[in-house]
Amino acid sequence: METVVSGIRSTGNLHLGNYYGAIQNFVKMQDEYKCYFFIADLHSLTTHPTPANLHGAVKQVLVEYLAAGIDPEKATIYVQSDVPEIAELYLYLNMNAYLGELERSTSFKDKVRANPDNVNAGLLTYPVLMAADIIIHKATKVPVGKDQEQHLEMARTFGNRFNRLYNKEYFPEPYAFTFSENLVKIPGLDGKGKMGKSEGEGNAIFLADTPEAIRKKVMRAVTDSGPTEENQAKPQEIQNLFDLMKVVSAPDTYTHFDSLYNNMSIRYGDLKKQLAEDMIIATAPIREKINDIANDAPYLRQVARYGAAKARESAQKTIREVREIIGFRNF
């Protein structure tokens, strides 16, 4: 089976965008590929979380991965920092990653503009650590969004550079991978772009949100004053709500409200109430599992240790071979 690697930063709760855009496909992938799904706590250090927040965020993602259906018997679920070989490969790759190419990274430039007082070396070498995450398992398929494709291209660059430097075809080239033919883009509730944790508390519906929280967030979603002519194009903030409804509601529900919009008789309050209830129903099975798993400390410990052992078995083999290729020898 081909190897798939994907990670998610441990920066809090997973939301509908994570679930429908990625995790739902992960659950299907685990039956067809050799999957490594990790929680990127080392990456999260660029924003300096407190020790308590760091551990709590890692636990939350682990719980929600499991609640969403990722099976630790089928896929390898692990915490990035539990596999020290990743940090070792990161060091070796850094020796052949150059300042100019790292500074040209679009995400680095974006982060510098957004946080000019926190331009740390970890941000600069973020693509190198991401490359280490991927190639340590010799992955060939990486499920990434458009915003991560440049990082994946850099991972290929670093792997190929290692191969050329040591004249050995060791690391295979990883490529972006879309498991599903239909890419699902989940918009946020702020009327702008995609759903995300960094866009503000009210923008995202989290998998762990209570029904009350979901209703409150959806009712605050941005709308306009309503259509002024029949069959007019929907502005983005309204289209976002319909796109969300397309994902969580029954087709006839979507058609009903679309017709109301087209004949100018829509009441946004009714649309939001329906959308909120459908979101509550869609997330109910996961929410119940989140509550059960979060309180089962022995099970979480078992999953984390089992995943770390499986991930390290793969990573240790790579590091042994990489050290030999580089020229490290024991006396």
CATH code assigned at 159: 3.40.50.620
Residues 125 and 21 in one domain: yes
Q: What angle do CA 125, 127, 132 make, to 5 degrees?
A: 100
How far apart are alpha carbons 125 and 128 in whole angstroms?
5
Domain that holds residue 13: 3-184+296-326
Compute mean pLDDT per 10 residues along the chain, 331 residues long, and list them. Answer: 90 86 90 95 93 93 95 97 98 96 91 90 95 97 80 94 97 86 79 77 90 96 93 94 96 97 96 97 95 96 98 98 96 90
From the candidates 74, 138, 192, 197, which is the catalytic residue?
A: 197
Termini Cα distance of the chain = 38
From the candidates 74, 185, 192, 194, which is the catalytic residue?
A: 194
Residues 178 and 212 in one domain: no
Active site residue 310: no
Q: Which burial class, exposed, middle or buried, applies to 109 when counting CB atoms under 10 A from its CB (0-12, 13-18, 19+)?
A: exposed
| pLDDT for the residue 233 | 94
| DSSP label at residue 91 | H
Active site residue 138: no
From the candidates 34, 111, 141, 217, which is the catalytic residue?
A: 111
| pLDDT for the residue 22 | 86
Residues 269 and 312 in one domain: no
Distances, alpha carbon 114 to alpha carbons 109, 191, 280, in Å: 9, 21, 34
What is the number of structural domains in the chain? 2
Buried b (16+ CB within 10 A) or exposed e, 246-282: ebbbeeebbebbeeebeeeebebeebbebbbbbbbeb
Residues 140 and 21 in one domain: yes
| pLDDT for the residue 289 | 96
Place of tokens 């709590």: 56
Place of tokens 């890419």: 183
Residue 74 lies in a domain: yes
Handedness of CA 291, 275, 8, 78 (dihedral sign): positive
Residue 144 lies in a domain: yes
Residues 109 and 124 in one domain: yes
Residue 63 lies in a domain: yes
Active site residue 111: yes
Cβ atoms of residues 248 and 195 within 8 Å: no
Residues 151 and 48 in one domain: yes
Residues 139 and 205 in one domain: no
- Residues annotated as binding site for ATP? 9-11, 17-18, 145-147, 186, 194-198
Distances, alpha carbon 181 to alpha carbons 1, 25, 184, 324, in Å: 20, 11, 9, 41
| pLDDT for the residue 259 | 97
- Phi, psi of 175, deg, nearest 5: -130, 155
Residue 196 lies in a domain: no
Residues 172 and 317 in one domain: yes
What is the amino acid identity at position 148?
Answer: Q
Residues 208 and 249 in one domain: yes
Using DSSP's 3-state secondary structure scheme, residue 206 falls into: strand
Residues 152 and 236 in one domain: no
Residue 143 lies in a domain: yes
Residue 191 lies in a domain: no
Residue 77 lies in a domain: yes
Residue 179 lies in a domain: yes
| pLDDT for the residue 147 | 66
What is the CATH classification number for the domain harbouring 257? 1.10.240.10
- Residues annotated as binding site for L-tryptophan? 133
- Residues annotated as binding site? 9-11, 17-18, 133, 145-147, 186, 194-198
| pLDDT for the residue 181 | 62
Residues 26 and 97 in one domain: yes
Residues 71 and 151 in one domain: yes
